[in-house]
Amino acid sequence: MQLQKNLWAVAMTALAYVGLLSFNQFIFSSLNASGFSSLVFLPSGLGLVCVLLFAEWGGMGLALGALLMGLGQVSYTEDPITVLGAAVLSGLAPLLARALCLRFAVFEENLQGLTAACLLRMTVAFAAVSALLHQVWFIARGQGGDVWGALALHFTGDLLGTLVVLYSAKLVLDRLPQLSRG
């Protein structure tokens, strides 16, 4: 039964990632620097939420969703190893940020003590880890280009995207009691 729930979390996370990435590409296409680099990258916020809720299973769903989208991009299918590595890092980066925050007692594993300040620290940690890991991977694959510019863009996109998703979720959650009353 638990395995079934975990596989459901992977599938739903992957589908949500694909949907949100498609939405992100549509809405922010004028801000996109390349296929997966955008000044606002909403899937990063989804990634952080899914890893908080589902831990490793959320990370697997993110990696699967990123792999599906990456293989669907014509420019990326020329090098499937680069796509695979970037997809794995998409699932690994929020897990590493979560682990770092747990290690330094920002919050507990059951999310006890998770405050707005904790979420902000975790968002910054996630954006930094994700940007750094992805840029190291792209450099290793010979696709470095403007390393500092790409690093700054990736960090900014993940940071802003995560903040938009988290604050949107907070706005919806704050409105739920009002909506249910009528």
pTM of the predicted model as reported, rounded to 2 decimal places = 0.87
Among 102-106, 149-153, 168-172, name the one with the lowest average pLDDT.
102-106
Within-domain flag for 181: no
Q: Which pLDDT score, from 0 to 100, does residue 34 have?
A: 55
Within-domain flag for 74: yes
Q: How confident is the model at residue 174 (pLDDT cuts 50, 70, 90)?
A: confident
The boundaries of the domain holding residue 136 are 2-29+36-175
Report the percentage of the chain scoring pLDDT > 90: 54
Within-domain flag for 180: no
Q: Which pLDDT score, from 0 to 100, does residue 128 have?
A: 96
Radius of gyration of the chain (CA): 16
Q: How confident is the model at residue 102 (pLDDT cuts 50, 70, 90)?
A: confident
Alpha-carbon distance values, 125 to 13, 122, 150 (Å): 21, 5, 17
Number of domains present in the structure of the chain:
1
For the chain, give me the number of helices (H) and strands (E)?
6, 0
Within-domain flag for 71: yes
Kindly state the average pLDDT of the residues 98-104: 86
Please enumerate in sequence order all residues whose Cβ is within 8 A of that of 103, keeping only pairs 6 or more positions apart, or say none.
none
Within-domain flag for 182: no
Within-domain flag for 125: yes
